[in-house]
Amino acid sequence: MNDAFVIAGGTTQSRTIPDMATQTRRNNRNIQTNRKGHKPSIRRQRYKLQPNDLVRYKEILCKVKGVSSYGKWVRLVTKAGEIINTNVKKVELVKYGKGIQF
């Protein structure tokens, strides 16, 4: 127990349930180049599907792991951890995965 919780006489109160949140950076800083004497160059070209987006493929909800072939193919991960490669035309976007997700 937290000391402040006990000092305030909260031994009979129920604790609140913490909310879980995940954060995915909006710009991919792994592919940024830092050149001497110049400002950092961050690649900002984005494809329609980004990592951690939630998509529906054949009535299965999957997370996007990444894209290939200039955004025409997508790699998906199911809840069981199975990896699927498919065309972007065969998937439907359910929810974006960038920023803070609750």
CATH number, domain containing residue 27: 2.30.30
pLDDT band at 2 (very low <50, low <70, confident <90, very high): low
Instruction: Please tell me whether the overall predicted TM-score, pTM, comes out greater than 0.95 for this model.
Output: no
Alpha carbon distance 56, 1 (integer Å): 42
Please list the residues that pair with 41 across neighbouring strands: 33
CA 94 to mean position of chain CA atoms: 13
Q: What is the pLDDT of residues 10-68, one digit of tens each?
A: 777 777 788 899 898 887 777 778 888 998 888 778 899 999 999 999 999 999 999 99
The answer to whether residue 4 sits within a structural domain is no
Contact in structure between 52 and 61 (CB atoms under 8 Å): no
**Assigned domain for 3 exists:** no
The tally of domains found in the chain comes to 1
CA 39 to chain centre: 27
| Enclosing domain of residue 70 | 20-101
Tokens at residue 30, please?
A: 């792994």
